Amino acid sequence: MRWHAVYRRFVLGRQYRFAREALVPHFFDALTAYALELSRLGIPQAGEAVVALRELRTLPLPSFTGEVEDVFFSIYAQLSEHWGEEVAGAIRRGLSRNDLDLTVFRAYLRDQVVALLGDFLRLREAVLQVAQSHAGVPLVLRTHHQPAQPSTLDHYLLGIAALLERDFRRLRRALDTLDRSPLGASALAGNPYPVDRARLAALLGFAGPVENTLDAVASGDYALELAAALGGMGASLSRFLTDLLFWAERGAFVVGESVSQGSSFMPQKRNPVVLEHARIYAGQLLGGMGTLAFLNHNTPFTDLNDHSTGVLEPLADLLERAEGAVELTRVALEESRFDPVLLLEELSPEVLASEAVDLLVRKGVPLGEAYRRVQGTLPGVRPERLGVEREELIAWMGLESFFARREVLGGVGPKAREEARKEAQRRLKEDGKDLAALRARVRLARRRLARGP
């Protein structure tokens, strides 16, 4: 068949090149798993097809010529040519490109998400390491863009670690949805042969099958869920990066030379551009949800290109940008340093004014009156106008006292911070074990499919 040049350029050729570059191993995995299951059922030539597929996967796949429309038919043509049409035809019994393609797409995306989660674990570890090495370093945090209260750098970073951990959880849940196999669903109504779909899923290293066969080929929400998780991660990273840029602007966060750039005109400049580039990548993740939503919006619930081939390249692009955002943020932390003096530059009596109110209340002054009395002494908090001894007020408003009074769960007190850090490290370790187990499951399945038991 001869396709129109425009169709070849924008559809067949483009999709073939992407599949040849990224999807071929997954096609061979899915076809081999299916042939193994047909062989178990006693389908003639299915066992020979397994041997043929394992040999063929070691050879390069031809480039797109237009003689066949996609990678599946390219593989099929080679099987037919070298092993005969009976062997090639065996793997097509009950198999549709609908369930095959969606299985391949999910397997490919699963690999990419697992790799991203590994990068994300390293970023979380870097945040916790910086928190540990800067334990107790005081700084002034802001609310509504104005100096608010003292905290410590590790307390701030533990807050960021908690935010990133939730993003990790959302991405992990999206992976749980993705980690289901459509294989065996056939076109939509189910396979006419009694294949064991749970066994097919296990052969491919999936957690299980997509149960309903129509849902297996019609659902696009796995892509929406993944895009939403990536968008949330992008939003969180951009907030963290904005804070780092704020401190970099004031010299409180000194970006390392290996990730900064100078100016073509101003010799004094050392620009913290790694943070800008990381934020660009993070910002681009926010648009992904819209793209994936539009690809699903107003489409009938059945197999369509809109939410099968249509979502694959946008998701691949989003995952690459997510990797850039995560890795650049991690490297920026590892290659840079904080300046403790400049972090505390905005410390003043005003940011501790609430402590003076609390002192008066503890002495029996009604809260409203205490608030007005302290507010009337500003700027500065003058003990003579508050009716307290200078030494008592200074001791009460000191940073050490401020922190010591805040030993609540998650607070800035030294014990609370240390407990929070240990708990965050424990959860990080558990997440690492979970991801390692998933990796091992997929790796073992793929090795068996490629080489045999």
pLDDT at 387: 83
Q: Which two tokens stand for residue 151?
A: 């905290």
The string of pLDDT tens digits covering residues 419-431 is 999 999 999 999 9
Give Cβ neighbours of residue 295 (< 8 Å, ≥ 6 apart).
220, 223, 306, 307, 310, 311, 314
For 5-61, the DSSP string reads HHHIIIIIHHHHHHHHHHTHHHHHHHHHHHHHHHHHTT-TTHHHHHHHHHHHTTSPP
Return d(Cα 12, Cα 355) in angstroms, integer: 69
Cβ pair 233, 119 in contact under 8 A: no
Give Cβ neighbours of residue 91 (< 8 Å, ≥ 6 apart).
31, 34, 35, 38, 46, 49, 53, 76, 79
Predicted confidence band of residue 193 (pLDDT cuts 50, 70, 90): very high
Predicted confidence band of residue 1 (pLDDT cuts 50, 70, 90): low
CB half-sphere exposure, 262, CA atoms < 13 A = 6
More confident residue, 289 or 453: 289
Lowest mean pLDDT among 45-49, 108-112, 203-207, 301-305: 301-305
The string of pLDDT tens digits covering residues 265-302 is 887 788 899 999 999 999 999 988 899 899 888 899 99
The string of pLDDT tens digits covering residues 378-387 is 888 888 888 8
For residue 69, how far is the Cα from the chain centroid?
33
Q: Which two tokens stand for residue 352?
A: 């501790």
pLDDT at 180: 98
Residues of the chain above pLDDT 90, percent: 80
Predicted confidence band of residue 359 (pLDDT cuts 50, 70, 90): confident
Helices (H), ranges, 304-413: 309-334, 340-343, 353-362, 367-377, 383-386, 390-397, 399-404
What mean pLDDT, rounded, does the chain reach? 94
Identity of residue 394: I
Cβ pair 52, 87 in contact under 8 A: yes
Query: Which pTM was predicted?
Result: 0.94
The CA-atom distances, in angstroms, between 448 and each of 58, 197, 438 are 15, 18, 16
Average pLDDT over residues 84-97: 95
Q: Which two tokens stand for residue 192?
A: 């006419």
